[in-house]
Amino acid sequence: METVESLKPGVIKEIYALIEPHAEKSIAYFYGRLFAENPRLRTFFPSSMAAQRRRMSDALSQITASSDNPETFTRLLSRLGREHRKFGIAPAHYDAMGRATLATLRAYAGESWTAEMEAAWTTMFDTAAAIMIQAAEDDAAQAPPWWVGEVVEHDRRTPDIAVLTVRPNEPLPYRAGQYVSVQTARWPRVWRTYSIANAPAEDGLLRFHVRALPAGWVSGALVRHTRAGDALLLGRASGGMVLDAESGRDVLCVAGGTGLGPLKALAEEALRTREDRDVHLLFGARTPADLYDLRALRALAEARPRFHVVPVVSEGPAFGGVRGPVSDVLDRFQDWTGHDVYVAGPPGMVSRTVMNLQELGVPTERIHYDPADR
């Protein structure tokens, strides 16, 4: 069997550089080729392939970048292997995918394609497939490929935002701050990730804060077309924005809109694990009406005196509280340099908040957030 040590990262990166300028077209060609040769594989994918093509492109760039680091490469491919279980991918499908990737590379690299590249790519693909298959097999001994969740409550907080409470058919293990993939009956095979908005609890219930986006198939279905009693499919939990268990530092959470979800879970967990620390939550919204969870947060703050909630509104001139983009008001409070900081919200808000925190002297390693393309 090929091993991670036999990868040729230099050649893999050369191949990637040849293909990258044609990334979009070559990925469309890859799926076209895959489905033409294996029509049954088409049924594993949603009718619109746009998101899938984006995911494939991200995965390729990450795999290429990690090909010179066996540990990162193995960790990445193992995660992909586990995550692909929910798509119903079986070991036999990897051969078909391997053939389609090679055909794509030959077509797009043209005359630059060499025998050395063909060998390096084949080794890389076989190694990657072996790691994915093994990780999926190991995972199958511990967890189902997906969970069925029953919506037990659907609370429409604003015309665009709903808070869903979901009961999985069996315990779904996760850590506060993590997210899961969700599929609705309305859009078969379309999976989107949503952060779990509560810390793990004995009743096993999961809460999700969802805003219906104009082009959001799944978010629109979850907010507007889902009722108590409906079933959802849920994938395994992932994500690295979790509490630093070793740290006793105070915690600052900076939330933009429904980015509040994972931060509420983290705040609950932080308060539960150490009663002697302060947890500040800045909850940013565009208008006062968008502060969709303020009542629940205030109730929590009343029960937990060391929990401090500050609503921040960016487009409400009449709002009596703190006004401005939540990313830009951090210097109006106390010194945050001794805090663990967690940030979630729109990508622009997250990057601006991180930049401002760094300028205020918060060490980078204490600022936690999810990548925008999770």
Ligand X SMILES: NC(=O)C1=CN([C@@H]2O[C@H](COP(=O)(O)OP(=O)(O)OC[C@H]3O[C@@H](n4cnc5c(N)ncnc54)[C@H](O)[C@@H]3O)[C@@H](O)[C@H]2O)C=CC1
Judged by CB under 6 A, the stretch of 128-136, 145-153, 270-278, 342-350 that binds ligand X is 342-350
Is the Cβ of residue 4 or residue 354 nearer to ligand X in the bound state? 354
- Decide: is 220 part of the binding site for ligand X (CB under 6 A): no
Residue among 348 and 363 whose Cβ is closer to ligand X: 348
Q: Judged by CB under 6 A, which stretch of 33-41, 116-124, 222-230, 259-267 contacts ligand X?
A: 259-267
Bridge partners, residue 156, by sequence: 162
Q: Which stretch binds ligand X (CB under 6 A): 63-71, 117-125, 165-173, 281-289?
A: 281-289
Q: Does 216 bind ligand X (CB under 6 A)?
A: no
**Residue 285 binds ligand X, judged by CB under 6 A:** yes
Q: Is 311 in the site for ligand X (CB under 6 A)?
A: no
Asked if residue 262 binds ligand X (CB under 6 A), the reply is yes
Task: Provide the mask over 117-146, with x wherever binding to ligand X is found by CB under 6 A and - wherever it is not.
Answer: ------------------------------
The window from 44-52, 139-147, 255-263, 359-367 that contacts ligand X (CB under 6 A) reads 255-263
Choices 68-76, 180-188, 300-308, 340-348 (CB under 6 A): range interacting with ligand X: 340-348
For 220, residues 6+ apart whose C-beta sits below 8 A from its C-beta are 212, 213
Q: Is 344 in the site for ligand X (CB under 6 A)?
A: yes
User: By C-alpha distance, which of 208, 205, 201, 200 is closest to 226?
Assistant: 208
Residue 352 in the binding site for ligand X (CB under 6 A): yes
CB of 222 to ligand X, least distance (A): 13
Among 91, 159, 171, 348, binds ligand X (CB under 6 A): 348
Closest contact distance (angstroms) between CB of 348 and ligand X is 2
Q: Which of 81, 145, 220, 256 binds ligand X (CB under 6 A)?
A: 256
Task: Choose, by CB under 6 A, the member of 220, 235, 257, 311 that binds ligand X.
Answer: 257
The Cα–Cα gap between 281 and 333 comes to: 12
What would the 3-class secondary structure string for the chain be?
CCCHHHCCHHHHHHHHHHHHHHHHHHHHHHHHHHHHHCHHHHHHCCCCCHHHHHHHHHHHHHHHHHCCCHHHHHHHHHHHHHHHHHHCCCHHHHHHHHHHHHHHHHHHHHHHCCHHHHHHHHHHHHHHHHHHHHHHHHHHCCCCCCEEEEEEEEEECCCCEEEEEEEECCCCCCCCCCEEEEEECCCCCCCEEEECCCCCCCCCCEEEEEECCCCCHHHHHHHHCCCCCCEEEECCCECCCCCCCCCCCCEEEEEEHHHHHHHHHHHHHHHHHCCCCCEEEEEEECCHHHCCCHHHHHHHHHHCCCEEEEEEECCCCCCCCEECCHHHCHHHCCCCCCCEEEEECCHHHHHHHHHHHHHCCCCHHHEECCCCCC
Of 77-85, 168-176, 299-307, 320-328, the segment contacting ligand X by CB under 6 A is: 320-328
Q: Decide if residue 370 touches ligand X (CB under 6 A).
A: yes
Question: Smallest distance, Å, CB 144 to ligand X?
Answer: 24
Residue nearest to ligand X (CB): 257
Residues lying near ligand X in the complex (CB under 6 A): 195, 211, 256-259, 261-262, 284-286, 290, 314, 325-327, 344-346, 348-349, 352, 370
